[in-house]
């Protein structure tokens, strides 16, 4: 749990961690070359620990030193992802594409992860079927098998991030050309493409609607030395929202402001002052803020669903009525009920939240039920009067490296405790 005494305006400078959502598919990609890869700026978070445990189980040798991971996939000789680990993290589904590429086989359970509504994998399975994969299963397991992946022309019904990554990974060692249309355009997809190409793969088009991959043989793939993961735009956005909710002033280093533009645009609309230059972003508040009459989560470059909860916490403190619509995930409003316990005035109507800003949130005992909800509750606590206890630190630790240390360095009164 986090114990937070609210009321301190944040001030100071922090360096943003590497991206979780880039690191995970890139770690999966190390299976493909059967060689030693060194990856830098990997965040020290629970989801990465789970991914490392899975890769070790499969036979990879892993050395971790600070934020540098060395992964040698030469001795990978298993293709089953243990159920207890798969259940901890839905994104482990991307291992399927890499395992099918290297071994033509993969056995996974239906994936777990945060409880944010039904998260099907039909788009992953449809695409892989077109590439020549047969699926069988039962009792929560899925066996995937192919006599050889074949290039295919795949149109995704929705630009799913995970499906785009899984199909890219499968296509690297497929025979012939794969074209994936209506793909996700998130910066993390571009990062994966860059990593794969550093390995010797032929991937083009990431960041646009269509990705084309010319398949190659494992002998053509090289080790990757010192690949640096991009900064985490959601973590950066969370710290900016923390500065905004406390009406403080902070600078972030290690950011790519273009990736943050959809978030910065909305923060600016409320009246926050944001300056960005040379890989740094500064945010401060020097005037009364205004509510947002329309904010919708959308695939990139729209406003990210992962920032929806932190943004809701912030808007709960901004005078006037804000309307926030979640279009990516069902049931991603569980934090609203906890924010209400802290005095927020939020009404949920289907996939829309109507947020009436209040003058002052107040401390309470609240519980995070998913990663970003946890971040949102911490933010609300920073602005609340009195003490707040945020339970569910294990969710927050899935994605934020040392959030309590970073916020404390910015002047927040926050400590993490295992038990009272």
Contact present, 307 and 284 (Cβ < 8 Å): no
Length of the chain: 420
Contact present, 150 and 176 (Cβ < 8 Å): yes
Identify the helix (H) or strand (E) that includes residue 202.
strand 202-204
Cβ proximity to ligand UD1: between 155 and 222 the closer is: 155
Cβ proximity to ligand UD1: between 44 and 119 the closer is: 119
Phi, psi dihedral angles at 268 (to 5 degrees): -60, -40
The two structure tokens encoding residue 137:
């299963």
Cβ proximity to ligand UD1: between 158 and 275 the closer is: 158
Does residue 73 bind ligand UD1 (CB under 6 A)?
no
DSSP-derived secondary structure for 345-379 = EEEEETTEEEEE--S--B--EEE--SHHHHHHHHH
Binder of ligand UD1 out of 191, 306, 326, 367 (CB under 6 A): 306
Contact present, 33 and 218 (Cβ < 8 Å): yes
Calpha distance 138→94 (Å, rounded)? 20
Site track for ligand UD1 across 164-193, x = CB under 6 A = --------------------x---------
Of the residues 40, 114, 216, 272, only one is catalytic, namely 114
Cβ proximity to ligand UD1: between 20 and 102 the closer is: 20
Q: Is 59 helix (H, G, I), strand (E, B) or coil?
A: coil
Contact present, 167 and 126 (Cβ < 8 Å): no
Q: For helices 95-103 and 46-58, what crossing angle results, to 10°? A: 20
Identify the helix (H) or strand (E) that includes residue 348.
strand 345-349
The two structure tokens encoding residue 414:
């926050």
Active site residue 216: no
The 8-class DSSP code of residue 152 comes to: -
Binding-residue total with ligand UD1 (CB under 6 A):
20
Binder of ligand UD1 out of 91, 238, 276, 308 (CB under 6 A): 91
List binders of ligand UD1 among 313-342 (CB under 6 A). Answer: 328-329
Nearest distance from residue 81's CB to ligand UD1, in Å? 15
Number of Cβ within 10 Å of residue 302's Cβ equals 14
Does residue 305 bind ligand UD1 (CB under 6 A)?
yes
Calpha distance 273→289 (Å, rounded)? 10
Nearest distance from residue 304's CB to ligand UD1, in Å? 6
Q: What is the CA radius of gyration of the chain?
A: 21
Site track for ligand UD1 across 117-146, x = CB under 6 A = --xxxxxx----------------------
Number of Cβ within 10 Å of residue 380's Cβ equals 33
Nearest distance from residue 420's CB to ligand UD1, in Å? 31
Measure CA of the first residue to CA of the last residue in the chain; give whole Å.
9
List binders of ligand UD1 among 21-40 (CB under 6 A). Answer: 21, 24
Binder of ligand UD1 out of 158, 204, 258, 265 (CB under 6 A): 158
Contact present, 375 and 369 (Cβ < 8 Å): no
Cβ proximity to ligand UD1: between 8 and 191 the closer is: 191
Cβ proximity to ligand UD1: between 108 and 161 the closer is: 161
Does residue 232 bind ligand UD1 (CB under 6 A)?
no
Nearest distance from residue 399's CB to ligand UD1, in Å? 8
Stretch that binds ligand UD1, among 63-71, 157-165, 286-294, 346-354 (CB under 6 A): 157-165
Cβ proximity to ligand UD1: between 297 and 322 the closer is: 297
Q: Report the residue closest to ligand UD1, judged by CB.
A: 162
Site track for ligand UD1 across 254-293, x = CB under 6 A = ----------------------------------------
Contact present, 121 and 127 (Cβ < 8 Å): no
Nearest distance from residue 362's CB to ligand UD1, in Å? 30
Is-cis flag, bond preceding 301, omega within 30? yes
Which residues participate in catalysis according to the annotation?
114
Q: Which residues bind ligand UD1 (CB under 6 A)?
A: 21, 24, 90-91, 119-124, 158, 160-163, 184, 305-306, 328-329
């Amino acid at each position: 749990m986090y114990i937070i005494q609210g009321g301190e305006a944040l001030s100071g400078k922090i360096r943003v961690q590497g991206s979780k959502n880039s690191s995970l598919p890139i770690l999966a990609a190390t299976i493909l070359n059967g060689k030693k890869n060194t990856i830098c700026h990997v965040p020290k978070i629970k989801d990465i620990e789970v991914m490392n445990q899975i890769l070790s189980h499969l036979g990879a040798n892993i050395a971790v030193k600070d934020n540098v991971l060395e992964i040698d996939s030469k001795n990978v000789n298993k293709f089953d992802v243990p159920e207890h680990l798969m259940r901890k993290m839905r994104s482990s589904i991307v291992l399927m594409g890499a395992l099918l590429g290297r071994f033509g086989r993969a056995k996974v359970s239906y994936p777990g992860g945060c409880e944010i509504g039904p998260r099907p994998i039909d788009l992953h399975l449809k695409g892989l079927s077109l590439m020549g994969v047969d699926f069988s299963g039962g009792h929560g397991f899925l066996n995937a098998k192919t006599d050889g992946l074949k290039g295919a022309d795949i149109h995704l019904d929705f630009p799913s991030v995970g499906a785009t990554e899984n199909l890219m990974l499968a296509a690297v060692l497929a025979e012939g050309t794969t074209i994936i249309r209506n793909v996700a355009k998130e910066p993390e997809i571009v990062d994966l493409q860059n990593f794969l190409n550093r390995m010797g793969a032929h991937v083009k088009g990431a960041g646009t609607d269509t990705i084309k991959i010319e398949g190659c043989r494992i002998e053509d793939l090289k080790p990757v030395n010192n690949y640096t993961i991009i900064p985490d735009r959601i973590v950066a956005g969370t710290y900016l929202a923390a500065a905004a909710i406390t009406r403080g002033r902070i600078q972030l280093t290690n950011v790519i402001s273009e990736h943050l533009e959809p978030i910065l645009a909305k923060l600016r609309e409320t009246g926050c002052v944001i300056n960005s230059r040379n890989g740094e972003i500064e945010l401060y508040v020097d005037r009364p803020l205004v509510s947002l009459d329309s904010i919708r989560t959308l695939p990139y470059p729209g406003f990210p669903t992962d920032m929806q909860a932190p943004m809701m916490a912030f808007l709960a403190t901004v005078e006037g009525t804000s309307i926030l619509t979640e279009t990516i995930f069902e049931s991603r409003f569980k934090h609203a009920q906890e924010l209400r316990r802290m005095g927020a005035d939020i009404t949920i109507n289907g996939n829309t939240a109507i947020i009436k800003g209040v003058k002052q949130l107040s401390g309470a005992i609240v519980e995070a039920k998913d990663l970003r909800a946890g971040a949102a509750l911490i933010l609300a606590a920073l602005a609340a009067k009195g003490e707040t206890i945020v339970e569910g630190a294990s969710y927050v630790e899935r994605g934020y490296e040392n959030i309590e240390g970073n916020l404390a360095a910015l002047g927040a009164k926050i400590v993490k405790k295992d038990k009272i």
